Amino acid sequence: MITFSKIMGDYKGKIPFNLVDNQKILIMPLGDIHFGSRGFPLERFKTHLEWGMERGAYFLGMGEYLDFAAHSQRGLMGQLRDSTKEILDKMILDQTEEFLKIVKSTKSRWIGLLEGDHRWDFADGTSVDQRICKAVDAPFLGSAGLIRLKMHKHPKDHPEADVIIYCHHGIGSSRTEGGHLHRLSDLLKFIEADVYLMGHSHAKIAAPIDRQMITPDGIHSHRTKLIARTGSWFLNYYSTGPFRLEEPAFKSRGNYPELKSYPPSSLGGIAIGIGFEQIEKSKYYRPMIHISL
């Protein structure tokens, strides 16, 4: 797990978008993008990035930026000849460069990027995800991250107003809306954070959880924690009329969500507003956290 602290600068945007009072940062997790997949919503994705940049948002990469090379595919490709792997490296590098053209305007606005199940390692051992990190000037978070965000200008000597984010690409899925959050709620038992984020299941759903506390100066209060699945950009349904019977049969088959009768992905991402406030009747502070789906 990658752990680090990051001091956040002043919250500035051309267009204000405040989810909480005294907001100091707007975070937009982006994952399960699957660039290069059939039906990829390119214009919608571009608009999402522009919307965030206009509002001074920071992005957090949740993994699976390109559609190529799921775990099962990488197992098969590991048996290929070196010359064939070089061809694949070139093909994937070209696709990566196309993706980087889209996200180049977001450089230096990323807290970090995770990797996911769809990933690719080049011959030199570096990965597609690391190449994206280099292009957008962001740390590579590997499998999971535990990040402390220090809010610029919050009262000195009050670290309890900092926000800790735990992020993981994600595991598991569910046939019900609330079921997507079960793996996240489990994390509260053994990881201490304020915001818990996962992708992977292509759901976009969240829940605030208030936990009671008593401040060091004896005030009974609470602190809000947030668990969320961060959405997807993978369009997993298509429609055509019947093809001619001479056409290859695969053209009439759906991809894996259709074959397994999964629900459509929750297209798009989420936005998390973070500020801080002084606890009533106490000298101590706490973060304020709210989410927009």
Per residue in 34-75, pLDDT (tens digit) is: 999 988 999 999 999 999 999 999 999 999 999 986 665 656
pLDDT in tens, 169-212: 999 888 777 888 999 999 999 999 999 999 999 999 999 999 99
Q: In whole angstroms, what is the distance from residue 58 CA to residue 62 CA? A: 13
Classify strands 220-230 and 195-198 as parallel, antiparallel or unpaired. Answer: parallel
Nearest 5°: phi and psi at 21? -65, 150
Q: Pairing mode, if any, of strands 140-142 and 110-114?
A: parallel
pLDDT of amino acid 178:
82
Phi, psi (degrees; rounded to nearest 5) at 111: -70, -35
The pLDDT, as a whole number, for residue 106 is: 98
Average pLDDT, the chain: 91
- pLDDT category of residue 76 using cuts at 50, 70 and 90: low
* pLDDT score recorded for residue 173: 80
pLDDT at 82: 66
Query: What predicted TM-score, i.e. pTM, was given to this entire model?
Result: 0.92
> What percentage of the chain reaches a pLDDT higher than 70?
95
Higher model confidence: residue 256 or residue 30? 30
- Taken in order of first residue, the domains within the chain and their CATH numbers are 2-292 (3.60.21.10)
pLDDT reported for residue 100: 98
Distance of CA 118 to the CA centre of its chain: 14
Distance CA 108, CA 59 (A): 9
Instruction: List, for residues 145-162, the tens digit of each pLDDT value.
Output: 999 999 877 777 788 889
Residue 144 pLDDT > 90, yes or no? Answer: yes
CA distance 92 to 97: 9
Encoding tokens for residue 91?
């093909």
Report residue 281 as tokens: 């009747």
The DSSP symbol for 282 reads: S
Residues composing the chain: 293
How many percent of the chain have pLDDT more than 90? 69
